[in-house]
Amino acid sequence: DTEVTQTPKHLVMGMTNKKSLKCEQHMGHRAMYWYKQKAKKPPELMFVYSYEKLSINESVPSRFSPECPNSSLLNLHLHALQPEDSALYLCASSRQGEGPQHFGDGTRLSIL
């Protein structure tokens, strides 16, 4: 069982919908991450939050909007996505400044 929990596991949405992906960890980690992974490719970093503040934005389109309401939660708000945004979205967390990154099982997102 993973210690990073992501919901929902699967999401199908139209290009005009607004939805949110959620991630939760209770390991006391102060760094949290969003990754995007396409089939047969390694994960690509999207955002990093450090102590609840956005520290890295890898030039992600504004239709993806991250939010870190507290040290245990990380959200990714989605709006007006494109079909090429269909992918597995992974959340991860780590101790700030050290230690391994722990990943959730991801949300499989399909854009119609």
Partner 1 sequence: KQEVTQIPAALSVPEGENLVLNCSFTDSAIYNLQWFRQDPGKGLTSLLLIQSSQREQTSGRLNASLDKSSGRSTLYIAASQPGDSATYLCAVRPGAAGNKLTFGGGTRVLVKP
Residues that bind partner 1 (CB under 8 A): 2, 4, 6, 31, 33, 41-43, 45, 48, 50, 55-56, 88, 90, 92, 94, 97-106, 108
> How far is Cα 8 from Cα 12, in angstroms, rounded to an integer?
10
* AA identity, residue 94: S
Task: Please name which of 96, 111, 80, 109 lies closest in space to residue 22, comparing C-alpha atoms.
Answer: 109
Q: Which is nearer to partner 1, 18 or 96 (CB)?
A: 96
Q: How far is the CB of 80 from partner 1 (least distance, A)?
A: 26
Q: Which is nearer to partner 1, 83 or 97 (CB)?
A: 97
Give how far the C-alpha of residue 17 lies from the chain's centroid of Cα atoms, to the nearest Å: 18
